[in-house]
Structure 1
């Protein structure tokens, strides 16, 4: 059968796991106790970050899950072959042409065979990529796959649909955080009676229950008219909650962001005048930040002192030679990354290109450059260099992040000292009361 266990797939997963953990400062998995791969399982996740989303899900699975992806990705034969090797099968949408919708029958039939063999399935039921902190309407694809399969087995397969929520506080950031939450599994057999009476109604019920479950797992800014203001509120208030109410919790920033959104939602529904006042305050705060070339991500509530900034600067200066060494030795991987990134117009692929570069481009140049060192000097130097080159390059990436952070701290420090009245006004405008 197609998509069976593959040693090559496991090798790719091994290197992908290492690279992903190097790409993110922290990856948090919650609710993994809800995964039982002895049952037929379909993972249903929100989709914000191109290939990074399936990579994160893949790392939580013991088995090799099969993913369903939009069919237009499979147009080129070479790409289609690679996708198949990576255990990805196509799903056709109306925008792919009504005449092609019949091709889904084969994908759905094969999905049934895989589930019967206890091979996990995974798809993104929103039907398309959505970089925003929100959930698009969930489509019926999962219902169309799993309900007929269960019906054909008299609802004895014990199939489960596991809702998954993925959250990135800084979706495009390097060395940032990622949160993956697995919700309580939805038992497909619970829809048996309804399916026997009205299959379409059962499909809608499953879709509706799945959508509600997914909403509880993510940071869901449904109020699109005020989307930017919600994001600013998270940037300003979530860090304070992380240091206070949620200190020590693994999923700290996720919980803090959810609380900010919940507080504003409650205000919108129960106290609209107060909500409108906060929105106006946020807009005023953003205008102050823009005027002084600051952003909502700058820590204006807890500005760094001049002493700390100077110490930070001294540490950067002391470590500069090592960072330069790392950048010089990583110049070819950097060029390769830039060239590869130029092939994509959508920002959603930035983290994906970084991870792919870390999986393939960086190791390739480690080997090439180590061989060159070995030819010029000797084997022991090549062996040492093969460890030194990636380690110093990775340190250089961290050094760059620290340098950028120092620059932002310095800007905030100058703003606080030069414009104390504006700073005090700003700190009042950005606060909200939490329940």
Structure 2
């Protein structure tokens, strides 16, 4: 298939941008000045969120990039046709069968043609989804693609690899945040001499350089033995650090999260006894939270006041009729979404299904239900319904999140008032003392 500009694909990108901005409270892009689409580009990103990760990349590309994805999703012919229309090519792994690895030659050849035509390609060099906030070992797929292509052009093609880091503080959350950072490009021509002397060594050097650059861009919890404790440290300390040290910066929470992880890493390597005491404090804090049916995501450091809780409850109550209208008219899209969830066992597909539902399922039912209203009423009522249905349904989804946050606030408020000694002890346990605040 020849990949090129498609009006239909561009239209999909337009609606995808709208849906993505409705799904996330804040989308922050940094380093876009490192993208020069006049050069042949390969985007190399970490991969945690199925379809959402490519959508985030699409939003900053002027051209229509072609993605390389694992081949097992192409087994169904209908799905394969959709994937190719979406500018996605298959890449075969050993787990797809050794006999199929030869099929990669065609994908790599076509990738070379695309780069020569200045059409960007994008792939996820970890080779699979990674549910954790870390970077899996980077594979050599990019090296296998780009080095022979540059060599065939005597290293004059000027290919650049753009390392990309994507960070979701709450990957499953609706109206949460996401940060996308583009690193400085890696010039493939810089590996020319090494490639001419030893192609395998050059491929490893390029892979190592890419992996190192990607680690700098993301929050990388490499210490699996203490992964949960690292997560808790971020949830407990990054909000305050972002507020006090990085105020006014759109990437505030990303910077704060990286500082928390780096601080723990330094302790682990340089002062293991202090690190062990800190981890012990975190585990005691987790026990206290569990005893009082709280979670690390609850804002125990700054309990909401009773007055603010009552005000929020009043606003939720007053807006309940509008919410019920929204949920009632959105019941069919909700049922379809719930049905889709049963088809996937991994939680990482929840945000993808939510975005896909907003992109296709909700608009489809808006049209169907509006036509039904038009049949039984005049055109003005149908037009009014066409405007109100998606707005009130989105408001209902927002209301549900706000109601959940109110319940968490009430639990923390009750805990701090009923058990002040335990609350004070908890505050001292969750604080990461080696952090440098303002």
TM-score, scaled relative to structure 2: 0.98
Tell me the residue number matched to 2:231.
231
Give matches, 1:3-402, under 5 Å: 3-402=3-402
Unaligned runs of 5+ in 2: none
Distance 2:71 2:259 in 1: 37
Q: Deviations over 1:290-309 (max 9, x none)?
A: 00000000000000011110
Distance 1:67 1:284 in 2: 45
> Counterpart of 1:244 in 2: which secondary structure?
helix
Tell me the residue number matched to 1:434.
435
Give matches, 1:413-424, under 5 Å: 413-424=413-424
> Counterpart of 1:100 in 2: which secondary structure?
helix
Distance 1:184 1:400 in 2: 41
Distance 2:304 2:83 in 1: 48
Distance 2:145 2:97 in 1: 20
CA RMSD of aligned residues (A): 0.7
> Counterpart of 2:362 in 1: which secondary structure?
helix
> Counterpart of 2:171 in 1: which secondary structure?
coil
After TM superposition, the structure 1 stretch with the greater mean CA deviation from structure 2, 242-251 or 146-155, is 242-251
Q: Deviations over 1:80-132 (max 9, x none)?
A: 11111110001111111111111111100000000000000000000111010
Distance 1:155 1:79 in 2: 37
Unaligned runs of 5+ in 1: none
Quote how far apart the aligned CAs of 1:349 are. Answer: 0.7
Distance 2:374 2:343 in 1: 34
Q: Deviations over 1:179-228 (max 9, x none)?
A: 10000000000000100010111111100000000000000001111000
Quote how far apart the aligned CAs of 1:79 are. Answer: 1.1
Quote how far apart the aligned CAs of 1:271 are. Answer: 0.9
> Counterpart of 1:67 in 2: which secondary structure?
strand
> Counterpart of 1:68 in 2: which secondary structure?
strand
> Counterpart of 2:294 in 1: which secondary structure?
coil
Distance 1:224 1:123 in 2: 25
Q: Deviations over 1:352-409 (max 9, x none)?
A: 1000100111001111111111121111111111111100111111111110000000
Quote how far apart the aligned CAs of 1:7 are. Answer: 1.0
TM-score, scaled relative to structure 1: 0.99
Distance 1:335 1:148 in 2: 50
Distance 1:241 1:311 in 2: 28
Distance 1:96 1:225 in 2: 30
Aligned residues: 435
After TM superposition, the structure 1 stretch with the greater mean CA deviation from structure 2, 11-20 or 105-114, is 11-20
Quote how far apart the aligned CAs of 1:57 are. Answer: 0.8
Q: Deviations over 1:260-288 (max 9, x none)?
A: 00000011111111100000000000000
Distance 2:65 2:217 in 1: 21
Tell me the residue number matched to 1:2.
2
Quote how far apart the aligned CAs of 1:343 are. Answer: 1.2
